Structure 1
Amino acid sequence: MTDTKTNITFGHSSLTIEQICQLAKGNATAKLNSAPEFKHKIDQGADFIKELLREDGVIYGVTTGYGDSVTTPVPVQDTHELPLHLTRFHGCGLGSIFSAEHTRAILATRLASLSQGYSGVSWSLLQQLELLLQKDILPRIPEEGSVGASGDLTPLSYVAAALIGEREVLYKGQTQPTEQVFKSLGIKPITLQPKEGLAIMNGTAVMTALACLAFQRADYLTQLCSRITSLCSIALQGNSAHFDELLFSVKPHPGQNQVAAWIRDDLNHYKHPRNSDRLQDRYSIRCAPHIIGALKDAMPWMRQTIETELNSANDNPIIDGAGQHVLHGGHFYGGHIAMVMDSMKTGIANLADLMDRQMALLVDSKFNNGLPNNLSAASEQRRPLNHGFKAVQIGVSAWTAEALKLTMPASVFSRSTECHNQDKVSMGTIAARDCLRILDLTEQVAAASLMAATQAVTLRIKQSQLDKSSLSDGVLSTLEQVFEHFELVSEDRPLEHELRHFVALIQEQHWSTYAN
């Protein structure tokens, strides 16, 4: 059987968010650029470090202690031990363990940065990172313990430890000692060269990896939320003129107008304009393009920022092997990713809040224009016993509230750490973790909303108040896809397993939305 995975080459050209996501999902293979000039560029940096050591040069983290200990000189004969100490004293992470998908993204993102050729690492270190990705040997990395400057030190220490055969890895679905896995596969642990512990750990790989994964999920949610809005508008017998092209031409935010166009096409606005008793629908329908569009319009800036960080050298010091310079700075600082994640999580939580308000309209017979209370599809005789989506709507409110609570920007909670050396830090990794949690919650809201909205449209068809043939191809496709996994709620039943299944399908981007 041939391997059909895509090869993604490191050290050749700029990488994209999509490529990191492919690697994270196990759908691609990492390969180092085999061109001699690339290997030469990497070797130049490592050779320059060796030359400086022979000349008794002073390099932060190579011939000095770390952080506030920068004033403590390290004898040249001990410099080979220093990176080992760095990896070990940072082995204090706590919290949940990053998933396999997250860990692959972290490995790929760190390899992307080191492949820029400005970190003074050896070719063998890059090969060892490449091997971990190729063999799917995943360091066991705790989520908590990074303030996002000096980079993701503590979580990345678990990557460094795996490279040298220490701590534990996830391999073939089991957590095992790294040494044991390496021995079984004939892999030799590397010995860290003087700057290599710092080069692996002193960067933004964790937060940037999570940002790549968050971006792809957020982008998909803008589309799914637009389709759910269309279903809600149809179910509520809304006014399709709210999405008219002329209306949106006078407020020309591109993302907002794209969302309005998606919904307008879904509603067959020009072919089958729907009449409504209300001149103006409530804001959660009428203003949906403005709410979803605010995030959609921010996505290009977010992509540019994430991909710039992804393709940057972001450790310290920077080693210019070709020009023979050691440049001490602060490229480990995760402020750009922190800003993106704090912004993205607010936009995503607004989608949850929008769908929560739409759900409230659908289930309430005072506002849903003639649909059954709680969208129950029970017969008239059985209706007093049945409660349809009543509890699901309560769940949606709970998930939304939790998402909204997490939108407090992490980046403003800088704490002075490490003897006031790291006295202003980014909190980018905390922001990224918050963003992923908000995505989880919003995807739960979307799963419930998709069920409820398709149930509502189907009830409207059953009431002979909607001609199924009038529906657009996109809306019909979604209805068909949903009911492959879901049965109309006629009699009350537990919906947990169906909701979990729908969340998983959303995370797999299963539901078709709009052609790009």
Structure 2
Amino acid sequence: MAEHDLNDVRPACGVANADVAAHADCTPIVVGARRLTIEEVVAIARRRASVALSDDPAWRARIERGAAFLRRQLAAGATVYGVNTGYGDACVVDVPMALVEALPLQLTRYHGCGMGAYLDDAQTLAVIAARLNSLAYGFSGVRTVLLERLAALINHRVLPRIPSEGSVGASGDLTPLSYVAAALAGERDVQYAGGLRAARDVWTELGVEPLTLAPKEGLALMNGTAVMTGLACLAVVRAEHLTRLAARLTALSTVALDGRAAHFDATLFEVKPHAGQAEAAAWIRADLAGRADTPGHRLQDRYSIRCAPHVIGVARDALGWVRRDVENELNSANDNPLVDPDNERILHGGNFYGGHIAFAMDALKVAVANLADLMDRQLALLVDVNFNNGLPRNLSGAAPERAAINHGFKAVQISSSAWTAEALKNTMPASVFSRSTEAHNQDKVSMGTIAARDCLRVLELTEQVAAAHTLATVQAVHLRLRIDSATPVPAPLRAFVDDVGARSPFVAEDRALEGELRALTARIAGCELLDRDDYREGANA
């Protein structure tokens, strides 16, 4: 089948497998002639949506004009970096016209040296979506057929096996993105239909010839920030979910510890007007609505409760500018050289530099690790009889005659402390570790992909802490109700307790909790423990 006929084999909803199609949104996300949002990338990554290229004739014509202009430049004998020259410090090496067509595939081949764990399916889909969107801006000199093939990788779930290590974040994500380019050309392995397959065999099964990369198309695919940007999109959404969950667990801990709702009074946050902490306090207030403080208790709760909005608020405010910078990078032409089809210019620059993503991910992982520390400190209060206002030691639910041999959440708190420590350790900024590479051509690099990977690891650890804290606070609320059945548990919190309890019953007798912790961590990582209504609750609180 010819290269331009791929749409003829596109299955319903743009996906290859029936089980994927059943869960995908049949209204595809349009790429081209519009900005893409972080949420759209995440929807693609989580297999909730397919993609479709814009049918705007002007946009399609512009894409083809860029490729045509590049061909004319070559025919006229112009020198264009990476098209008829070598790469990097070899830009002074002229490539004979007889070898120009072979150059893109050579680029993909010598960059096939990635190492480390492979990106998972969601990460791979996010990366492809980010690269597709950047090339769709029409400044890269690629053909429409290349964009169609990238869309096909997404819609048919033909997922290049991308090693996570090997990029310094300038000139873009060269080594990991070489695996995307190679897959389009029918080389290396891909995940398809539940198994690891040779890319060429999958294209044959789909009735399509592997793509012959045109001049610059290998470079356009590889010389950009798609890996760090795709990972950053996933990180932003997971971090936003964690901030709301941390607020909910603060409210739940306040109930369990018989703490004071007055710490979250709106006036406190009006006179220190950081928007993020006011938002976090509003969420906690909404979750505690109707709860009155009990006279005679400690006048002020400890910092991990009282100052929780201030901790969560830092992350909320950081997410504002992090989201801005990630979406700007997502919606940018970030390879080199750029091809301006309107003014017919070749622009040699450095848009492949991932500094904004690097700094954003470095900052976000610090803010997220602070959430881990906050939740771990709250959990430590809950299990400690010296600080938990009368709850049983280690939140044990055992009957009195069995209390001596039951230890409740003791080990869960120890594990939570370990995960927190590891999250905090991983906050070392990657962006300050620039290394001079490639014969001092790439002599100041961003380390953006390492920063994004670090951020995802911190998120993973923090989600584990959140899962431990969630199970513990739900247990603690049940124990508080045993002490005083009249303890008010506001409706949002009661619904949350019931939801968690349906999957992880009250711990009356010690049992291994690993399976429940893993299942709950997966729900948190998938942003499935809370819904959008939970985010809106605090709007008028």
Name the TM tier (shorter chain).
over 0.9
Is residue 41 of structure 2 the alignment partner of residue 41 of structure 1?
no
Counterpart position of 1:378: 398
Secondary structure at the residue paired with 2:431?
Answer: helix
What letter corresponds to residue 259 of structure 1 in structure 2?
A
Equivalent residue number for residue 66 of structure 1: 87
- Alpha carbons 1:236, 1:368 under 8 Å: kept: yes
Q: 2:222 aligns with which of 201, 207, 226?
A: 201
The one-letter amino acid paired with 2:181 is A
Contact 2:170 2:352 in 1 (8 A): yes
Q: Is the counterpart of residue 508 in structure 1 residue 529 in structure 2?
A: no
Q: Which residue of 1 aligns with 2:272?
A: 251
Once the two structures are TM-superposed, the CA of residue 178 in structure 1 deviates from its matched residue by 0.4
Counterparts in 2 of 1:379 and 1:130: CA distance versus 1, 3 Å: same
- Corresponding residue to 1:475 among 484, 493, 497: 493
> What's the CA shift for 1:272?
2.3
Classify the secondary structure of the residue corresponding to 2:196: strand
What's the secondary structure of 1:8's corresponding residue?
strand
Aligned: 1:352 with 2:372: yes
Q: Which amino acid aligns with 1:134?
A: N
Which whole-Å deviations, capped at 9, do the CAs of 1:55-104 have from their partners, x for residues lacking one? 11011101110001011111122111111110000000011111111111
How many Å separate the matches in 1 of 2:405 and 2:27? 54
- Displacement of 1:276 in angstroms is 5.4
Task: Give 1:234's aligned residue.
Answer: 255
Describe how 1:252-331 pairs up with structure 2 within 5 A. 252-268=273-289, 272-275=292-295, 277-331=297-351
Gap regions ≥5 residues in structure 1: none
Tell me whether 1:436 sits opposite 2:460 in the alignment.
no
Q: Partner residue of 1:156? A: 177
Distance in 2 of aligned mates of 1:335 and 1:346:
17
Q: Displacement of 1:508 after TM fit? A: 2.6
On the 8 A contact 1:316/1:330 being kept in 2, the answer is yes
Match of 1:402 among 413, 422, 443: 422
Match of 1:173 in 2: 194
- Per the TM alignment, residue 49 of structure 1 is displaced from its structure 2 partner at its CA by 0.8
Q: Is the 8 A contact 2:259 2:293 kept in 1?
A: no
Displacement of 1:106: 0.7
Per-residue CA deviations over 1:370-428 (Å, capped at 9, x if unaligned) read 11000001111111110000000000000001100000000000010000000000000
When normalised by structure 2's length, the TM-score is 0.93
Partners of 1:237 and 1:275 within 8 A in 2: no
Structure 2 CA distance for aligned equivalents of residues 278 and 474 of structure 1: 25
SS in 1 for 2:197: strand
Q: For 2:490 and 2:506, how far apart are their aligned partners in 1? A: 21
Which is further off, 66-75 or 1-10? Answer: 1-10
Tell whether the 8 Å contact from 1:238 to 1:276 is kept in structure 2 after alignment: no
| Aligned counterpart in structure 1 of residue 210 of structure 2, from 184, 189, 211 | 189
Corresponding letter in the other structure for 1:451: L
For 1:412, what is the secondary structure of its paired residue? coil
Partners of 1:109 and 1:205 within 8 A in 2: yes
* Cα shift at 1:245: 1.0
Scaled by the length of structure 1, the TM-score of the pair is 0.98
Q: Which residue of 1 aligns with 2:116?
A: 95
Shift in alpha-carbon separation, 1:275–1:154, aligned structure 2, 3 A: farther
Deviation by residue 1:114-149 (Cα, 9 ceiling, x = unmatched):
000000001111111111111111111010000000
**How far did 1:309 drift?**
0.5
Post-superposition Cα deviations, 1:266-292, rounded to whole Å, max 9, x if no partner, equal 2226x5234452111111000000000
Task: Name the amino acid aligned to 2:513.
Answer: L
1:25 aligns with 2:46: yes
User: How big is each residue's C-alpha offset from its partner over 1:279-323, in whole Å with a ceiling of 9 and x where there is no partner?
Assistant: 111110000000001000111111111111001000000100121
Once the two structures are TM-superposed, the CA of residue 265 in structure 1 deviates from its matched residue by 2.0
Runs of 4+ off more than 6 Å: none
Specify which of 475, 478, 488 is matched with residue 506 of structure 2: 488
**Superposition pairs for residues 207-226 of structure 1, below 5 Å?**
207-226=228-247
Contact 2:32–2:137 (CA under 8 A) maintained in structure 1: yes
> 1:80, 1:194 within 8 Å by CA — same for their partners in 2?
yes
**2:480 alignment partner AA:** R
Structure 2, unaligned stretches of length 5 or more? 1-11, 14-20, 537-541
**SS of alignment partner, residue 326 of structure 1:** strand
Matched, 1:6 2:6: no
Q: Secondary structure of the equivalent of 2:255?
A: helix
2:148 pairs with 1:127: yes
Aligned-residue Cα RMSD (Å) equals 1.2
- The Cα shift of 1:109 comes to 0.5
Aligned-pair identity (%): 55
